């Protein structure tokens, strides 16, 4: 018996929309803040693949062992690798797993074990391909598979799914700061590998930040990005950047910030060197007197910084820079993330 799917295999993805779609043909799930992962079990062989079809198996030995302990010998699951810590998701602990030393990976797996959260079923235990079935049919089969084979494994879990939009809206609201958002799936759709056939609503928040510095655009002459800071115990720490300011305002903004160039800019953590996206020139930055406050929109704050670039919303001349503290970006939810897992 052999699997009808084999690596490389690309998962079905989601396109972003502003609101959760409503109607009888939609199912809703949490959008987990982890690593998307296709899990293959073929006899004694386990393979974990990332969204880009890159191997992840060696970085999550506890998940591979749990899947190997399942009595079913053949299956393919779509899901998410997460690391829950004290009822919250820790993306920083997840990132630390991508380490070249097997001994380090094993140590991290023992100290803060990960979980594999399944939310779709692509090949069943009889090696039957399920991707042509509707999501409703696949979900029913997945729930039965979980009840029969996965429920007794602590490292494996089943993501909740609901047809009630009010419940999905509560997830989005009450788990703000933890979930990545909500995914909406058509219950009558087959599994479309590599296509953006699902919809996602991101869990967005806003924060007021001090502009502690800026970088010139690579072309030179005008501001390329503003460097953002938040206060903690009297020190201004660099927490990220925003580069979505209107192009028409760049020249006047440049004149404005150049008048405020003053060391040190940040008195706590400072901007680092070049990132994988930047050049040596773009990594150079100018420190500013902490006088400007900007409101930005963001999706994730982890590891004491915005994980992605933020969206510029507006200037806040009415706000005292000292009011821009880390308290704004603390987790707002007290609900354990495990409440969204079946069998947690």
- How far is residue 180 CA from its own chain's centroid? 6
- What would the 3-class secondary structure string for 201-270 be? EECCEEEEEEEEEEEECCCCCCEEEEEEEEEECCEEEEEEEECCCCHHHHHHHHHHHHCCECCCCCCCCC
DSSP code at position 86: T
Give the H or E element holding residue 50.
none
Angle at 36 between CA 162 and CA 239, to 5 degrees: 100
Helix, strand or coil for residue 295? Answer: strand
d(CA 269, CA 213): 12
Check if the beta carbon of residue 75 is closer than 8 Å to that of residue 37.
no
Between the alpha carbon of residue 76 and those of residues 8, 132, 290, the distances in Å are 13, 14, 53
Is 31 among the catalytic positions? Answer: yes
Check if the beta carbon of residue 108 is closer than 8 Å to that of residue 99.
yes
| Cross-strand pairs, 15 | 199
Residue of 31, 185, 200, 202 marked catalytic: 31
Between the alpha carbon of residue 279 and those of residues 96, 213, 312, the distances in Å are 25, 18, 23
Check if the beta carbon of residue 199 is closer than 8 Å to that of residue 128.
no
**Interior/surface letters 37-54, b for 16+ CB within 10 angstroms, e for the rest:** bbbbbbeeebbbbbeeee
Catalytic residues: 31
């Amino acid at each position: 018996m052999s699997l009808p799917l084999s690596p490389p295999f690309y998962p079905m993805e989601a396109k972003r929309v502003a609101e959760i779609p409503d109607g009888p043909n939609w199912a809703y799930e949490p959008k987990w803040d982890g690593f998307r992962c296709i899990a293959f079990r073929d006899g004694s062989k386990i393979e974990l693949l990332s969204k880009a079809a890159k191997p992840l198996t060696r970085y999550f030995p506890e998940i591979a062992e749990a899947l190997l302990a399942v009595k079913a010998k053949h299956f393919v699951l779509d899901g998410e690798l997460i690391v829950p810590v004290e009822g919250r998701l820790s993306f920083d602990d997840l990132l630390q797993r991508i380490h070249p030393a097997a001994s380090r990976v094993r140590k991290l797996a023992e100290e803060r074990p990960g979980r594999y959260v399944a939310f779709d079923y692509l090949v069943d235990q009889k090696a039957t391909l399920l991707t042509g079935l509707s999501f409703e049919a696949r979900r029913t089969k997945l729930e039965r598979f979980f009840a029969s084979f996965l429920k007794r494994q602590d490292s494996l879990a089943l993501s909740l799914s609901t047809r009630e939009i009010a419940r999905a809206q509560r997830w989005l609201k009450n788990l703000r700061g933890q979930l990545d958002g909500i995914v909406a799936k058509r219950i009558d759709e087959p599994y479309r590998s590599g296509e953006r056939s699902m919809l996602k609503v991101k869990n967005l928040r806003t924060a007021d930040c001090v502009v502690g510095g800026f970088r010139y655009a690579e072309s030179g002459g005008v501001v390329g990005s503003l460097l953002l800071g938040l206060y903690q115990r009297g020190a201004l720490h660099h927490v990220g950047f925003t580069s979505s300011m209107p192009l028409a305002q760049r020249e006047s903004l440049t004149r404005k910030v150049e008048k405020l160039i003053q060391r040190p800019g940040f008195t706590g953590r400072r901007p680092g060197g070049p990132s994988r996206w930047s050049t040596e020139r773009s990594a150079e930055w100018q420190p500013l007197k902490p006088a400007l406050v900007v409101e930005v929109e963001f999706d994730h704050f982890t590891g004491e910084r915005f994980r992605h670039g933020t969206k510029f919303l507006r200037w806040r001349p009415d706000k005292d820079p000292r009011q821009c503290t880390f308290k704004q970006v603390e987790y707002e939810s007290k609900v354990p993330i495990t409440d969204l897992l079946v069998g947690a």
